[in-house]
Amino acid sequence: MAIADKLVLQRQRHLKWRALDRLELGLMMLCGILCFGFSMSVTADIVTRTIGHPWLWLQEVTSTLFIYAIFIGAAAATRRNDHLYLTAISESMHGTPRAIVEVMTRTVVLCVSFCLIWFGYLNYLRGFGSFRLPSGQPIAYLYIIIPLSGILIALFTIEQLVNGLVNGFDHPEPPLAEDDRAIPQIGTSVETGAQR
């Protein structure tokens, strides 16, 4: 069996759960929408204040979009190993030391997610006693995203732990094609008309 075939089989064992792939895609799309909405609401807030007719409700919309984008982005980034994860340390190791560091790192992330769930839920409950102006809505609708983000982060971390413990944490990169390995030379000599 060729090296490339072995790497393909090894990568197939590291495939993530399909349902969570769709969830990740949905979270990434939602993050993009929230960031776009945040940018548009900030722009509209600046324009309306500049022309002398501010829309006060825009600050409430802006802060809501910003907070939701942060926590949904943290959950999506956890699935992609882009956030709450120290890759530089673990990628320099192999075998048992790497497995230990990977498990410890993900255990810390799991503890953080449980804190987000517990304390976020407590803040959510307390949020019914405070209200946002000018809408008069309870501030709890801002806090509900914190425990939801914690649940998603815990789910993605457990998926990574199970996948890593079953299949290993080493993810070899596929070999480069011959065309990709060779870096073409750049001509640095200057030719004059007399030399031609």
- Residue 30 burial (10 A CB sphere; 0-12, 13-18, 19+): middle
On whether the CB atoms of residues 55 and 41 are closer than 8 A, the answer is no
Question: Strand, coil or helix: what is 116?
Answer: helix
pLDDT of 175 strictly over 90: no
On whether the CB atoms of residues 44 and 116 are closer than 8 A, the answer is no
177, part of any domain: no
Going from the C-alpha of 38 to that of each of 60, 83, 119, 141, 150, the distances in angstroms are: 11, 21, 26, 17, 22
74, part of any domain: yes
Phi, psi of 131 (to 5 degrees): -130, 145
**Mean pLDDT, rounded, for 174-192:** 59
Nearest 5°: the CA angle 84, 72, 130 is 110
**Which band of pLDDT confidence, cut at 50, 70 and 90, is reported for residue 174?**
low
18-41: pLDDT as tens digits: 778 889 999 999 999 999 999 999
Number of domains observed in the structure of the chain? 1
**Mean pLDDT, rounded, for 141-161:** 94
37, part of any domain: yes
Question: Strand, coil or helix: what is 131?
Answer: strand
85-139: pLDDT as tens digits: 556 676 777 778 888 888 898 999 999 999 999 999 999 999 999 988 888 889 9
Least confident of 44-58, 147-161, 162-176: 162-176
Question: Strand, coil or helix: what is 123?
Answer: helix
Pick 182 or 155 by higher pLDDT: 155
142, part of any domain: yes
pLDDT score, position 189: 64
Place of tokens 């030391």: 97
Q: Domain containing 147: what range? A: 17-170
100, part of any domain: yes
**Which band of pLDDT confidence, cut at 50, 70 and 90, is reported for residue 184?**
low
